[in-house]
Structure 1
Amino acid sequence: MTSPATMPATMPDIRSLVPHSGGMVLLERVVSADDENLCAEVRIHAGSVLATADGVGSWVGIEYMAQAIAAHAGWLAERRGDAVKVGFLLGSRKYEASVPYFALGSVLRVHVHRVLQAENGLGAFDCRIESADAAPGAASLATATVTVFQPDNVNQFLKDGNVA
């Protein structure tokens, strides 16, 4: 991670970093970021998207991970002075959750680490979700490797379907 001396004093509002709007922005804030990593936070409450009496199903963790990856791309774009662009979740490998639900009242930390970034926009991230209250070294609540794609021109990509 970037050293505290080079980390901005405050992180940008997550809503400025992801191409989602309104209630579809599921993460609450960026905790930290650098060129290869981002950590975001989400609080689970009764008003959370997809919440039930038990909490939020752990299967939603894949979307938390995808939005953290989008926030990382947005953070990098903002640093370069570029606009935030739309990206696509292509898939995940080995999504494993150790809990059936993220409990109401819990605060989660979503960590993403870029392990691959190709020039054509394909990327892969190792992701994990942890309880913000967990002791260092505690088991993750969910883990996955997530594959994403961010074309240079999303409209052209949707029209042609070429990854080139």
Structure 2
Amino acid sequence: MIPWPLAELLPHAGDMILIDQVERCDDEQIHTRTTVRPGGLFNRADGSLPAWLGVELMAQSVAAYAGCRARRNGEAVELGFLLGTRKFECDVEHFPVGAELHIHALRSLEDDNGMGVFECHLRGPGIHASARLNVYRPPQVASYLVEPGPEESSND
């Protein structure tokens, strides 16, 4: 287990944090888990979660990996972006209430410009999902969040 609360590892807040715990994390991979509970932002009428939410659980696990690495290095946790998902496959249509889901993300590529690729798997009782996530953590993340002001026009 890691010594930091999830809220200190993820640039998410409140109900948007969908994983419950980081089980372990090293320089190459992270293992997280969550339990499906009814009443959340993304639950279906029966309390289950749609399978496509597996991509977000994987992405939050990758974000927690980056957060763990930043904290270990004494750096600030920064915002990153999910650029895309390849080969998402899931053998169920939804994750039932009470299911404990285990997510594993393994870094397969990362460059000095902030681009990364992670091989991800999500497992639970009778559940297996996998995907390859392409992510980006820009070196100057603040500049990506600033909207340009209206351009000044001159009437000559």
TM-score range with shorter-chain normalisation?
A: 0.7 to 0.9
Give the drift of 1:14: 1.4
CA distance in 1 between counterparts of 2:62 and 2:69 reads: 11
Q: How does 1:6-155 map to 2 (within 5 A)?
A: 10-52=2-44, 53=46, 55-131=48-124, 141-155=128-142
Displacement of 1:47 in angstroms is 2.1
Question: Alpha-carbon deviation of 1:15?
Answer: 1.4
Q: How has the CA–CA distance of structure 1 residues 11 and 41 changed in structure 2, closer, same or farther, with 3 Å as cutoff?
A: farther
* Distance in 1, Cα, partners of 2:107 & 2:86: 14
Distance 1:32 1:15 in 2: 16
What letter is aligned with 2:138? P
SS of the residue 2:88 aligns to: strand
What do residues 43-94 of structure 1 show as CA deviations (whole Å, max 9, x unaligned)? 1011233112051000000000000000000000000000000000000110
State, as a whole percentage, how many aligned pairs show the same letter.
36
Shift of 1:140: 5.5
CA offset digits 1:92-147 (Å, max 9, x no partner): 1100010000111101011100000010000000000011xx5xxxx762100000
Q: What is the aligned length?
A: 146
TM-score, normalised with respect to structure 2: 0.88
> Structure 1 stretches of 5 or more lacking a match?
1-8
Retained in 2: the 8 A contact 1:29–1:40?
yes
Runs of 4 or more consecutive aligned structure 1 residues displaced over 6 Å after TM superposition: none
Distance in 2 separating the partners of 1:154 and 1:54: 36
Q: Which runs of 5+ in 2 are unaligned?
A: 148-156
Which secondary structure does the structure 1 equivalent of 2:34 belong to?
Answer: strand
Other structure's SS at 1:51 match: coil
CA RMSD of aligned residues (A): 1.7
SS in structure 2 at match of 1:141: strand
Could you tell me the TM-score, scaled by structure 1's length?
0.84
Question: Aligned partners of 1:27 and 1:15: how far apart in 2?
Answer: 10
